[in-house]
Amino acid sequence: MINKPGFKYQIKIVSFVIITVLFVFFLYFLLSHHLGQYKQNIINSYLGWQRSILYNTVREAMQNTDENFDAYIVDTITNRLSTNESTYYIFYKDNIVIYENNNELTKKHSGRNIRQMYGEYSYYGGYNMEEILIEMEGKTDGSGYFIKDHKRGGEQVIWLAFNYGGSSYIFGSASYEQYILGLFDYENERNNLYAVSYIYSFMLIFFCVTICLDSFREYKERIKHNNENILNERTIKRLKATISDLESKFERLSIYDFLTGAFNRRFFDIFYPKLEGRIFLPLSIALIDVNGLKLINNTFGYKEGDNVLSGVAKIIFEHCSKKDVIVRYGADEFAIIMINTPNKEAMEKLIAISKKAFKEFNGLAVDVAIGIGTRTKMEEDLNDILQNAEKNLGIDKLTTEKSVQSGTIQMLRRILREKTAETEEHCERIKKYASKLAAAIGMNENKVKQLAFLAYLHDVGKIAIPDNIINKKGVLSDEEYEIMKNHTTIGYNIAMSSPSLKPIAKHILQHHERWDGSGYPKGISGENITIEARIISIADAFDTILSKRSYKERVSVPEALNEIEACAGTQFDPELAKTFVKIMKEEERQK
Protein backbone atom coordinates (compact mmCIF):
# COMPACT_ATOMS: atom_id res chain seq x y z
CA MET A 1 0.00 0.00 0.00
CA ILE A 2 1.30 3.47 -0.91
CA ASN A 3 2.28 5.67 2.02
CA LYS A 4 0.01 8.57 1.08
CA PRO A 5 1.84 11.37 2.93
CA GLY A 6 5.22 10.13 1.67
CA PHE A 7 3.98 9.64 -1.91
CA LYS A 8 2.48 13.11 -1.93
CA TYR A 9 5.73 14.78 -0.89
CA GLN A 10 7.82 12.65 -3.25
CA ILE A 11 5.61 13.69 -6.20
CA LYS A 12 5.90 17.30 -5.07
CA ILE A 13 9.70 17.20 -4.87
CA VAL A 14 10.12 15.33 -8.17
CA SER A 15 7.76 17.77 -9.91
CA PHE A 16 9.72 20.80 -8.72
CA VAL A 17 13.00 19.18 -9.84
CA ILE A 18 11.61 18.37 -13.31
CA ILE A 19 10.13 21.87 -13.72
CA THR A 20 13.44 23.44 -12.69
CA VAL A 21 15.42 21.28 -15.12
CA LEU A 22 13.00 22.15 -17.95
CA PHE A 23 13.24 25.86 -17.14
CA VAL A 24 17.04 25.69 -17.15
CA PHE A 25 17.09 23.84 -20.50
CA PHE A 26 14.57 26.30 -21.95
CA LEU A 27 16.69 29.20 -20.75
CA TYR A 28 19.77 27.77 -22.46
CA PHE A 29 17.76 27.02 -25.62
CA LEU A 30 16.68 30.67 -25.78
CA LEU A 31 20.25 31.76 -25.14
CA SER A 32 21.65 29.53 -27.91
CA HIS A 33 18.96 30.65 -30.34
CA HIS A 34 19.58 34.33 -29.57
CA LEU A 35 23.34 33.95 -29.90
CA GLY A 36 22.90 32.10 -33.22
CA GLN A 37 20.69 34.86 -34.59
CA TYR A 38 23.00 37.55 -33.31
CA LYS A 39 26.06 35.83 -34.83
CA GLN A 40 24.38 35.42 -38.22
CA ASN A 41 23.24 39.05 -38.21
CA ILE A 42 26.81 40.17 -37.60
CA ILE A 43 28.12 38.01 -40.47
CA ASN A 44 25.34 39.14 -42.82
CA SER A 45 26.04 42.80 -42.04
CA TYR A 46 29.75 42.36 -42.72
CA LEU A 47 29.18 40.42 -45.96
CA GLY A 48 26.64 42.99 -47.14
CA TRP A 49 29.19 45.72 -46.55
CA GLN A 50 31.85 43.87 -48.57
CA ARG A 51 29.42 42.98 -51.36
CA SER A 52 28.38 46.63 -51.73
CA ILE A 53 32.02 47.73 -51.93
CA LEU A 54 32.85 45.13 -54.59
CA TYR A 55 29.73 45.80 -56.66
CA ASN A 56 29.81 49.62 -56.44
CA THR A 57 33.50 49.76 -57.23
CA VAL A 58 33.06 47.62 -60.35
CA ARG A 59 30.16 49.83 -61.50
CA GLU A 60 32.22 52.98 -60.96
CA ALA A 61 35.20 51.48 -62.84
CA MET A 62 33.02 50.62 -65.84
CA GLN A 63 31.70 54.17 -65.99
CA ASN A 64 35.13 55.78 -65.57
CA THR A 65 36.48 54.99 -69.04
CA ASP A 66 39.39 57.43 -68.73
CA GLU A 67 41.20 55.23 -66.23
CA ASN A 68 42.93 51.88 -66.68
CA PHE A 69 40.15 49.50 -65.64
CA ASP A 70 42.30 46.87 -63.96
CA ALA A 71 44.51 49.31 -62.04
CA TYR A 72 41.57 51.47 -61.06
CA ILE A 73 39.45 48.63 -59.74
CA VAL A 74 42.32 47.03 -57.77
CA ASP A 75 43.44 50.31 -56.18
CA THR A 76 39.90 51.36 -55.32
CA ILE A 77 38.81 48.05 -53.81
CA THR A 78 42.00 47.50 -51.78
CA ASN A 79 41.78 51.03 -50.42
CA ARG A 80 38.16 50.58 -49.42
CA LEU A 81 38.46 47.07 -47.96
CA SER A 82 40.49 46.24 -44.87
CA THR A 83 43.58 44.15 -45.53
CA ASN A 84 45.07 42.19 -42.65
CA GLU A 85 46.06 38.66 -41.74
CA SER A 86 42.42 37.80 -40.95
CA THR A 87 41.09 38.87 -44.40
CA TYR A 88 42.53 38.06 -47.83
CA TYR A 89 41.57 38.74 -51.50
CA ILE A 90 42.27 37.34 -54.93
CA PHE A 91 41.30 39.06 -58.23
CA TYR A 92 41.34 37.10 -61.51
CA LYS A 93 41.26 38.35 -65.08
CA ASP A 94 40.87 35.34 -67.29
CA ASN A 95 43.70 33.03 -66.18
CA ILE A 96 45.79 35.71 -64.57
CA VAL A 97 45.87 36.85 -60.92
CA ILE A 98 45.83 40.66 -61.04
CA TYR A 99 45.86 41.03 -57.25
CA GLU A 100 46.41 38.84 -54.20
CA ASN A 101 47.25 40.06 -50.71
CA ASN A 102 50.20 37.84 -49.88
CA ASN A 103 48.17 34.76 -48.97
CA GLU A 104 49.74 31.33 -49.41
CA LEU A 105 46.50 29.84 -50.70
CA THR A 106 46.03 32.54 -53.35
CA LYS A 107 49.67 32.79 -54.47
CA LYS A 108 49.80 29.31 -55.96
CA HIS A 109 46.94 30.05 -58.38
CA SER A 110 48.86 32.69 -60.28
CA GLY A 111 48.87 31.87 -64.00
CA ARG A 112 46.75 28.76 -63.64
CA ASN A 113 43.71 27.78 -65.67
CA ILE A 114 40.59 29.18 -64.04
CA ARG A 115 38.81 25.87 -64.24
CA GLN A 116 41.71 24.22 -62.41
CA MET A 117 41.45 26.89 -59.75
CA TYR A 118 37.72 26.27 -59.49
CA GLY A 119 38.28 22.59 -58.96
CA GLU A 120 40.87 23.13 -56.25
CA TYR A 121 38.69 25.60 -54.41
CA SER A 122 35.84 23.11 -54.63
CA TYR A 123 38.21 20.44 -53.31
CA TYR A 124 39.04 22.63 -50.33
CA GLY A 125 35.36 22.96 -49.44
CA GLY A 126 34.66 26.02 -51.47
CA TYR A 127 31.65 26.83 -53.60
CA ASN A 128 31.27 24.81 -56.82
CA MET A 129 32.39 27.48 -59.27
CA GLU A 130 31.15 25.61 -62.34
CA GLU A 131 27.87 27.31 -61.49
CA ILE A 132 29.58 30.69 -61.84
CA LEU A 133 30.78 29.84 -65.36
CA ILE A 134 27.35 28.55 -66.32
CA GLU A 135 25.73 31.73 -65.00
CA MET A 136 28.21 33.97 -66.84
CA GLU A 137 28.04 32.21 -70.21
CA GLY A 138 26.35 34.36 -72.86
CA LYS A 139 26.59 37.51 -70.79
CA THR A 140 27.91 40.54 -72.64
CA ASP A 141 30.35 43.03 -71.23
CA GLY A 142 28.91 44.67 -68.18
CA SER A 143 25.54 43.12 -68.70
CA GLY A 144 25.64 40.53 -65.94
CA TYR A 145 26.99 40.20 -62.48
CA PHE A 146 27.04 37.15 -60.30
CA ILE A 147 27.63 37.55 -56.55
CA LYS A 148 27.66 34.46 -54.35
CA ASP A 149 28.42 33.98 -50.63
CA HIS A 150 29.46 30.73 -49.06
CA LYS A 151 31.19 29.44 -45.98
CA ARG A 152 34.45 27.51 -46.23
CA GLY A 153 35.58 26.07 -42.86
CA GLY A 154 35.87 29.00 -40.46
CA GLU A 155 35.80 31.58 -43.26
CA GLN A 156 33.10 33.63 -44.96
CA VAL A 157 33.73 33.93 -48.73
CA ILE A 158 32.25 36.28 -51.39
CA TRP A 159 32.65 35.73 -55.15
CA LEU A 160 31.88 38.45 -57.68
CA ALA A 161 31.97 37.42 -61.35
CA PHE A 162 31.40 39.67 -64.40
CA ASN A 163 32.47 40.19 -68.01
CA TYR A 164 34.10 43.37 -69.21
CA GLY A 165 36.17 44.31 -72.21
CA GLY A 166 36.07 40.75 -73.58
CA SER A 167 37.55 39.31 -70.36
CA SER A 168 36.10 37.33 -67.48
CA TYR A 169 36.74 38.71 -64.01
CA ILE A 170 36.31 36.89 -60.72
CA PHE A 171 36.96 38.67 -57.43
CA GLY A 172 37.17 36.61 -54.27
CA SER A 173 37.12 37.88 -50.66
CA ALA A 174 37.55 35.65 -47.57
CA SER A 175 37.43 36.70 -43.90
CA TYR A 176 37.80 34.58 -40.79
CA GLU A 177 34.61 34.41 -38.74
CA GLN A 178 36.51 35.17 -35.52
CA TYR A 179 37.79 38.39 -37.08
CA ILE A 180 34.29 39.41 -38.20
CA LEU A 181 32.77 38.62 -34.78
CA GLY A 182 35.60 40.48 -33.05
CA LEU A 183 34.75 43.65 -34.97
CA PHE A 184 31.31 43.62 -33.36
CA ASP A 185 32.48 42.58 -29.83
CA TYR A 186 30.57 39.30 -30.12
CA GLU A 187 32.58 37.52 -27.40
CA ASN A 188 31.79 40.15 -24.79
CA GLU A 189 28.10 40.04 -25.64
CA ARG A 190 28.11 36.24 -25.43
CA ASN A 191 29.91 36.26 -22.06
CA ASN A 192 27.43 38.78 -20.67
CA LEU A 193 24.50 36.63 -21.78
CA TYR A 194 26.08 33.51 -20.27
CA ALA A 195 26.70 35.35 -17.00
CA VAL A 196 23.05 36.41 -16.84
CA SER A 197 21.94 32.87 -17.68
CA TYR A 198 24.16 31.45 -14.90
CA ILE A 199 22.61 33.84 -12.40
CA TYR A 200 19.08 32.95 -13.44
CA SER A 201 19.95 29.24 -13.44
CA PHE A 202 21.39 29.49 -9.94
CA MET A 203 18.32 31.37 -8.73
CA LEU A 204 16.06 28.68 -10.21
CA ILE A 205 18.09 25.87 -8.68
CA PHE A 206 18.27 27.64 -5.31
CA PHE A 207 14.52 28.21 -5.39
CA CYS A 208 13.98 24.53 -6.23
CA VAL A 209 16.34 23.31 -3.47
CA THR A 210 14.67 25.61 -0.93
CA ILE A 211 11.22 24.31 -1.80
CA CYS A 212 12.40 20.68 -1.82
CA LEU A 213 14.13 21.02 1.56
CA ASP A 214 11.07 22.70 2.99
CA SER A 215 8.89 19.89 1.64
CA PHE A 216 11.30 17.29 2.98
CA ARG A 217 11.28 18.87 6.46
CA GLU A 218 7.50 19.07 6.30
CA TYR A 219 7.43 15.39 5.30
CA LYS A 220 9.74 14.42 8.18
CA GLU A 221 7.63 16.34 10.65
CA ARG A 222 4.49 14.68 9.26
CA ILE A 223 5.99 11.20 9.56
CA LYS A 224 7.31 12.00 13.03
CA HIS A 225 3.91 13.24 14.04
CA ASN A 226 2.18 10.14 12.60
CA ASN A 227 4.58 7.71 14.30
CA GLU A 228 4.89 9.45 17.67
CA ASN A 229 3.66 7.42 20.60
CA ILE A 230 0.89 9.08 22.58
CA LEU A 231 1.83 9.14 26.29
CA ASN A 232 -0.78 8.95 29.04
CA GLU A 233 1.02 11.19 31.51
CA ARG A 234 0.42 14.89 30.81
CA THR A 235 3.79 15.87 32.27
CA ILE A 236 5.81 13.63 29.94
CA LYS A 237 3.73 14.75 26.92
CA ARG A 238 4.29 18.45 27.70
CA LEU A 239 8.02 17.90 28.19
CA LYS A 240 8.36 15.94 24.93
CA ALA A 241 6.43 18.61 23.03
CA THR A 242 8.73 21.36 24.36
CA ILE A 243 11.93 19.50 23.42
CA SER A 244 10.51 18.52 20.02
CA ASP A 245 9.67 22.17 19.32
CA LEU A 246 13.25 23.20 20.11
CA GLU A 247 14.73 20.44 17.97
CA SER A 248 12.67 21.61 15.01
CA LYS A 249 14.15 25.13 15.34
CA PHE A 250 17.80 24.21 15.89
CA GLU A 251 20.05 21.69 14.22
CA ARG A 252 21.25 18.82 16.39
CA LEU A 253 24.78 20.18 16.38
CA SER A 254 23.61 23.40 18.00
CA ILE A 255 21.86 21.84 21.04
CA TYR A 256 23.87 18.69 21.87
CA ASP A 257 27.28 18.18 23.42
CA PHE A 258 28.75 15.30 21.43
CA LEU A 259 31.48 14.46 23.95
CA THR A 260 29.01 13.50 26.68
CA GLY A 261 25.74 13.00 24.77
CA ALA A 262 24.01 15.59 26.96
CA PHE A 263 22.30 18.79 25.81
CA ASN A 264 24.59 21.84 25.73
CA ARG A 265 24.40 25.18 27.55
CA ARG A 266 22.68 26.88 24.60
CA PHE A 267 19.83 24.40 24.84
CA PHE A 268 19.60 24.98 28.60
CA ASP A 269 19.34 28.76 28.19
CA ILE A 270 16.45 28.33 25.73
CA PHE A 271 14.69 25.41 27.40
CA TYR A 272 14.87 26.34 31.09
CA PRO A 273 12.73 29.53 30.85
CA LYS A 274 10.00 27.47 29.14
CA LEU A 275 9.39 25.48 32.34
CA GLU A 276 6.88 28.02 33.61
CA GLY A 277 3.72 26.13 34.52
CA ARG A 278 2.12 24.35 37.45
CA ILE A 279 2.27 21.09 35.52
CA PHE A 280 6.07 20.88 36.08
CA LEU A 281 5.96 21.25 39.89
CA PRO A 282 7.82 20.24 41.93
CA LEU A 283 10.72 21.22 39.69
CA SER A 284 14.28 20.46 40.85
CA ILE A 285 17.44 21.74 39.18
CA ALA A 286 20.68 19.95 40.16
CA LEU A 287 24.24 21.06 39.39
CA ILE A 288 27.21 18.66 39.39
CA ASP A 289 30.82 19.91 39.27
CA VAL A 290 33.70 17.56 38.40
CA ASN A 291 36.49 18.48 40.83
CA GLY A 292 40.14 18.17 39.82
CA LEU A 293 39.48 18.12 36.05
CA LYS A 294 41.95 20.90 35.29
CA LEU A 295 44.70 19.04 37.15
CA ILE A 296 43.92 15.82 35.23
CA ASN A 297 44.05 17.73 31.90
CA ASN A 298 47.43 19.29 32.71
CA THR A 299 48.90 16.09 34.16
CA PHE A 300 47.61 13.34 31.88
CA GLY A 301 46.37 15.32 28.87
CA TYR A 302 42.98 16.48 27.63
CA LYS A 303 42.14 13.04 26.26
CA GLU A 304 42.14 11.61 29.79
CA GLY A 305 40.14 14.62 30.98
CA ASP A 306 37.56 13.96 28.23
CA ASN A 307 37.38 10.32 29.33
CA VAL A 308 36.59 11.45 32.87
CA LEU A 309 33.85 13.81 31.65
CA SER A 310 32.34 11.09 29.46
CA GLY A 311 32.47 8.64 32.36
CA VAL A 312 30.74 11.05 34.76
CA ALA A 313 28.08 11.76 32.11
CA LYS A 314 27.48 8.02 31.69
CA ILE A 315 26.96 7.64 35.45
CA ILE A 316 24.50 10.56 35.46
CA PHE A 317 22.48 9.01 32.61
CA GLU A 318 22.41 5.68 34.46
CA HIS A 319 20.88 7.26 37.59
CA CYS A 320 18.35 9.53 35.84
CA SER A 321 14.91 8.76 34.43
CA LYS A 322 13.76 9.37 30.85
CA LYS A 323 11.96 12.55 31.81
CA ASP A 324 15.10 14.11 33.35
CA VAL A 325 16.88 16.56 31.05
CA ILE A 326 20.68 16.30 31.32
CA VAL A 327 22.80 19.27 30.22
CA ARG A 328 26.53 19.95 30.04
CA TYR A 329 26.28 23.25 31.89
CA GLY A 330 29.95 24.29 31.74
CA ALA A 331 33.43 22.96 30.98
CA ASP A 332 33.38 20.69 34.05
CA GLU A 333 29.74 21.06 35.16
CA PHE A 334 26.51 19.23 34.44
CA ALA A 335 22.92 20.30 35.14
CA ILE A 336 19.93 17.98 35.58
CA ILE A 337 16.40 19.36 35.17
CA MET A 338 14.06 17.06 37.10
CA ILE A 339 10.36 17.47 36.30
CA ASN A 340 7.85 16.54 39.07
CA THR A 341 10.73 15.62 41.37
CA PRO A 342 10.78 16.78 45.01
CA ASN A 343 14.01 17.89 46.64
CA LYS A 344 14.48 14.69 48.66
CA GLU A 345 14.18 12.42 45.63
CA ALA A 346 16.55 14.64 43.62
CA MET A 347 19.11 14.59 46.45
CA GLU A 348 18.98 10.79 46.61
CA LYS A 349 19.84 10.62 42.90
CA LEU A 350 22.76 13.05 43.31
CA ILE A 351 24.20 11.18 46.29
CA ALA A 352 24.08 7.94 44.30
CA ILE A 353 25.83 9.68 41.35
CA SER A 354 28.50 11.14 43.66
CA LYS A 355 29.28 7.79 45.29
CA LYS A 356 29.50 5.96 41.97
CA ALA A 357 31.73 8.66 40.43
CA PHE A 358 34.14 8.66 43.39
CA LYS A 359 34.37 4.88 43.26
CA GLU A 360 34.73 4.83 39.48
CA PHE A 361 37.55 7.40 39.26
CA ASN A 362 39.23 7.05 42.66
CA GLY A 363 42.51 6.24 40.92
CA LEU A 364 42.51 9.73 39.42
CA ALA A 365 41.33 11.51 42.56
CA VAL A 366 38.08 12.57 40.88
CA ASP A 367 35.22 13.75 43.05
CA VAL A 368 32.02 15.65 42.27
CA ALA A 369 30.40 18.53 44.11
CA ILE A 370 26.60 18.81 44.01
CA GLY A 371 23.99 21.51 44.51
CA ILE A 372 20.18 21.48 44.26
CA GLY A 373 17.43 24.05 44.02
CA THR A 374 13.71 23.06 44.05
CA ARG A 375 10.62 25.00 43.03
CA THR A 376 7.45 23.94 44.81
CA LYS A 377 5.27 27.03 44.24
CA MET A 378 4.46 29.12 41.18
CA GLU A 379 5.32 32.24 43.19
CA GLU A 380 8.99 31.20 43.28
CA ASP A 381 11.10 32.59 40.45
CA LEU A 382 12.89 30.10 38.16
CA ASN A 383 16.10 32.15 38.27
CA ASP A 384 16.09 32.06 42.07
CA ILE A 385 15.87 28.26 41.97
CA LEU A 386 18.94 28.12 39.70
CA GLN A 387 20.81 30.56 41.95
CA ASN A 388 20.01 28.40 44.97
CA ALA A 389 21.47 25.39 43.15
CA GLU A 390 24.65 27.34 42.35
CA LYS A 391 24.92 28.55 45.92
CA ASN A 392 24.54 25.02 47.31
CA LEU A 393 27.10 23.78 44.78
CA GLY A 394 29.60 26.38 46.03
CA ILE A 395 29.07 25.30 49.63
CA ASP A 396 29.58 21.64 48.72
CA LYS A 397 32.77 22.46 46.80
CA LEU A 398 34.21 24.18 49.88
CA THR A 399 33.51 21.18 52.07
CA THR A 400 35.00 18.68 49.60
CA GLU A 401 37.94 20.76 48.34
CA LYS A 402 40.33 19.76 51.13
CA SER A 403 39.80 16.04 50.69
CA VAL A 404 40.05 16.33 46.92
CA GLN A 405 43.32 18.24 47.10
CA SER A 406 44.69 15.77 49.62
CA GLY A 407 43.69 12.91 47.35
CA THR A 408 45.33 14.69 44.41
CA ILE A 409 48.64 15.07 46.19
CA GLN A 410 48.64 11.45 47.33
CA MET A 411 47.83 10.35 43.80
CA LEU A 412 50.71 12.39 42.32
CA ARG A 413 53.18 11.02 44.88
CA ARG A 414 52.04 7.47 44.20
CA ILE A 415 52.31 7.82 40.40
CA LEU A 416 55.72 9.50 40.71
CA ARG A 417 57.04 6.62 42.85
CA GLU A 418 55.68 4.03 40.41
CA LYS A 419 57.03 5.74 37.29
CA THR A 420 60.48 6.92 38.44
CA ALA A 421 63.39 5.62 40.49
CA GLU A 422 62.76 8.29 43.13
CA THR A 423 61.75 6.25 46.16
CA GLU A 424 60.01 7.53 49.26
CA GLU A 425 63.35 7.22 51.09
CA HIS A 426 65.06 9.45 48.51
CA CYS A 427 62.40 12.12 49.01
CA GLU A 428 62.69 11.81 52.79
CA ARG A 429 66.44 12.37 52.61
CA ILE A 430 66.02 15.43 50.37
CA LYS A 431 63.46 16.77 52.83
CA LYS A 432 65.92 16.19 55.73
CA TYR A 433 68.89 17.87 53.97
CA ALA A 434 66.75 20.81 52.77
CA SER A 435 65.19 21.33 56.22
CA LYS A 436 68.63 21.41 57.90
CA LEU A 437 69.98 23.96 55.43
CA ALA A 438 66.81 26.08 55.74
CA ALA A 439 67.06 26.06 59.54
CA ALA A 440 70.73 27.02 59.37
CA ILE A 441 70.03 30.18 57.35
CA GLY A 442 67.07 31.13 59.57
CA MET A 443 64.24 30.46 57.10
CA ASN A 444 60.75 30.94 58.63
CA GLU A 445 58.54 28.01 59.53
CA ASN A 446 56.08 28.39 56.64
CA LYS A 447 58.87 28.26 54.06
CA VAL A 448 60.40 25.24 55.79
CA LYS A 449 57.02 23.47 55.43
CA GLN A 450 56.94 24.40 51.74
CA LEU A 451 60.41 22.92 51.34
CA ALA A 452 59.23 19.65 52.86
CA PHE A 453 56.32 19.65 50.41
CA LEU A 454 58.69 20.52 47.54
CA ALA A 455 61.04 17.65 48.43
CA TYR A 456 58.35 15.12 47.51
CA LEU A 457 56.99 16.85 44.37
CA HIS A 458 59.89 18.76 42.81
CA ASP A 459 60.11 16.16 40.01
CA VAL A 460 56.34 15.76 39.55
CA GLY A 461 56.68 16.73 35.87
CA LYS A 462 58.45 13.42 35.18
CA ILE A 463 54.99 11.82 35.22
CA ALA A 464 54.56 13.01 31.62
CA ILE A 465 58.04 11.97 30.38
CA PRO A 466 58.07 8.75 28.27
CA ASP A 467 58.95 5.57 30.21
CA ASN A 468 61.79 4.63 27.85
CA ILE A 469 63.59 7.85 28.84
CA ILE A 470 62.72 7.79 32.56
CA ASN A 471 63.84 4.16 32.99
CA LYS A 472 66.81 4.20 30.61
CA LYS A 473 69.94 2.61 32.03
CA GLY A 474 72.96 4.70 31.28
CA VAL A 475 73.47 8.24 30.03
CA LEU A 476 70.71 9.92 28.02
CA SER A 477 71.34 10.99 24.43
CA ASP A 478 71.21 14.71 23.57
CA GLU A 479 67.70 14.31 22.13
CA GLU A 480 66.49 12.34 25.17
CA TYR A 481 68.02 14.91 27.51
CA GLU A 482 66.11 17.72 25.76
CA ILE A 483 62.87 15.81 26.34
CA MET A 484 63.79 15.15 29.98
CA LYS A 485 64.40 18.88 30.57
CA ASN A 486 60.71 19.53 29.85
CA HIS A 487 59.75 18.00 33.20
CA THR A 488 60.31 21.29 35.05
CA THR A 489 57.81 23.16 32.85
CA ILE A 490 55.34 20.26 32.95
CA GLY A 491 55.64 20.12 36.75
CA TYR A 492 54.98 23.87 36.96
CA ASN A 493 51.77 23.53 34.88
CA ILE A 494 50.58 20.63 37.05
CA ALA A 495 51.20 22.57 40.25
CA MET A 496 49.41 25.66 38.93
CA SER A 497 46.30 23.49 38.41
CA SER A 498 45.95 22.74 42.12
CA PRO A 499 45.39 25.34 44.84
CA SER A 500 47.44 23.24 47.26
CA LEU A 501 50.42 23.00 44.92
CA LYS A 502 50.33 26.52 43.48
CA PRO A 503 52.67 27.99 46.21
CA ILE A 504 55.50 25.65 45.17
CA ALA A 505 54.92 25.89 41.39
CA LYS A 506 57.67 28.45 40.82
CA HIS A 507 60.21 26.43 42.84
CA ILE A 508 59.41 23.31 40.78
CA LEU A 509 60.01 25.33 37.59
CA GLN A 510 63.41 26.62 38.78
CA HIS A 511 64.96 23.70 40.69
CA HIS A 512 67.27 22.88 37.73
CA GLU A 513 68.41 26.47 37.17
CA ARG A 514 72.12 27.09 37.92
CA TRP A 515 73.79 29.91 39.80
CA ASP A 516 75.84 30.86 36.70
CA GLY A 517 72.76 30.95 34.40
CA SER A 518 73.55 27.78 32.44
CA GLY A 519 70.59 25.80 33.77
CA TYR A 520 67.09 25.26 32.41
CA PRO A 521 64.34 25.95 31.48
CA LYS A 522 64.85 29.76 31.37
CA GLY A 523 68.60 30.12 32.04
CA ILE A 524 68.16 32.57 34.93
CA SER A 525 71.02 33.07 37.39
CA GLY A 526 71.97 34.11 40.91
CA GLU A 527 69.33 35.38 43.27
CA ASN A 528 66.77 35.52 40.47
CA ILE A 529 66.32 31.84 41.31
CA THR A 530 64.06 31.35 44.33
CA ILE A 531 65.95 30.38 47.48
CA GLU A 532 63.71 27.30 47.88
CA ALA A 533 64.75 26.07 44.41
CA ARG A 534 68.43 26.73 45.24
CA ILE A 535 68.16 24.72 48.48
CA ILE A 536 66.36 21.78 46.82
CA SER A 537 68.96 21.80 44.03
CA ILE A 538 71.79 21.25 46.58
CA ALA A 539 69.88 18.66 48.63
CA ASP A 540 68.80 16.68 45.54
CA ALA A 541 72.31 16.76 44.01
CA PHE A 542 73.93 15.64 47.29
CA ASP A 543 71.64 12.62 47.69
CA THR A 544 72.04 11.72 44.00
CA ILE A 545 75.86 11.82 44.32
CA LEU A 546 75.71 9.53 47.34
CA SER A 547 73.32 7.06 45.69
CA LYS A 548 74.47 4.15 43.58
CA ARG A 549 73.27 4.29 40.00
CA SER A 550 73.48 1.90 37.04
CA TYR A 551 76.11 4.16 35.51
CA LYS A 552 78.19 4.95 38.68
CA GLU A 553 79.29 3.50 41.99
CA ARG A 554 78.35 4.83 45.42
CA VAL A 555 80.70 7.49 46.87
CA SER A 556 81.44 8.54 50.44
CA VAL A 557 80.02 11.60 52.21
CA PRO A 558 83.34 13.52 52.13
CA GLU A 559 83.66 12.84 48.38
CA ALA A 560 80.09 14.03 47.81
CA LEU A 561 80.74 17.20 49.84
CA ASN A 562 83.91 17.86 47.83
CA GLU A 563 81.79 17.75 44.66
CA ILE A 564 79.28 20.20 46.15
CA GLU A 565 82.16 22.56 47.02
CA ALA A 566 83.59 22.20 43.51
CA CYS A 567 80.29 23.27 41.96
CA ALA A 568 79.75 26.25 44.30
CA GLY A 569 79.48 29.46 42.27
CA THR A 570 78.67 27.58 39.06
CA GLN A 571 75.84 25.12 39.71
CA PHE A 572 75.02 26.08 43.30
CA ASP A 573 74.59 29.28 45.33
CA PRO A 574 78.12 29.65 46.83
CA GLU A 575 76.92 30.78 50.26
CA LEU A 576 74.27 28.06 50.54
CA ALA A 577 76.77 25.44 49.32
CA LYS A 578 79.32 26.60 51.90
CA THR A 579 76.74 26.46 54.70
CA PHE A 580 75.50 23.02 53.62
CA VAL A 581 79.01 21.56 53.50
CA LYS A 582 79.72 22.96 56.97
CA ILE A 583 76.51 21.44 58.39
CA MET A 584 77.16 18.01 56.91
CA LYS A 585 80.83 17.92 57.95
CA GLU A 586 79.84 18.79 61.50
CA GLU A 587 77.28 16.00 61.41
CA GLU A 588 79.93 13.54 60.18
CA ARG A 589 82.31 14.49 63.02
CA GLN A 590 79.58 13.81 65.60
CA LYS A 591 79.01 10.26 64.33
Predicted local distance difference test score (pLDDT) of residue 57: 84
The closest alpha carbon to 91, from 83, 82, 101, belongs to: 101
Q: Round to whole Å and give the CA distance between 45 and 38.
A: 11
Each residue of 348-369: pLDDT tens digit? 998 888 888 776 665 565 678 8
- Domains recognised in the chain with CATH numbers: 4-186 (3.30.450), 234-400 (3.30.70.270), 420-590 (1.10.3210.10)
Q: Which residues contact 523 (CB under 8 A, 6 or more apart)?
A: 513, 517
pLDDT of 441 > 70? The answer is yes
Is the model's pLDDT at 331 over the cut of 50? yes
Angstrom distance (rounded) from CA 565 to CA 576: 10
39 against 244, higher pLDDT: 39
Which residue intervals of 420-504 are DSSP H helices? 424-440, 445-457, 467-470, 478-484, 487-496
Top-confidence residue, 88 or 422: 88
Highest mean pLDDT among 3-7, 179-183, 426-430, 577-581: 577-581
User: Of 123-137, 211-225, 533-547, which range is least confident?
Assistant: 123-137
- Looking at residue 256, its pLDDT comes to 84
User: What is the CB neighbour count within 10 angstroms for residue 272?
Assistant: 19
Q: Is the pLDDT of residue 518 over 80?
A: yes
Q: From CA 245, how far away is CA 241, in angstroms rounded?
A: 6
pLDDT surpassing 80 at residue 399: no
Is pTM beyond 0.95 here? no
Helices (H), 321-377: 343-360
pLDDT tens sequence across 268-302: 998 999 888 888 899 999 999 887 777 777 777 78
β-strand pairing of 155-164 with 96-100: unpaired
Tell me which of 172 and 526 has the higher pLDDT: 526
Look at 1 and 338; give whichever has higher pLDDT: 338
- Strands, E, within 72-154: which ranges? 87-93, 96-100, 145-152
Q: Of the given ranges (51-65, 190-204, 509-523), which has the lowest mean pLDDT?
A: 190-204
Per residue, the 3-state secondary structure of 242-271, as one string, reads HHHHHHHHCCHHHHECCCCCCECHHHHHHH
Q: Is the pLDDT of residue 123 over 50?
A: no
C-beta of residue 287 within 8 angstroms of C-beta of residue 395: no
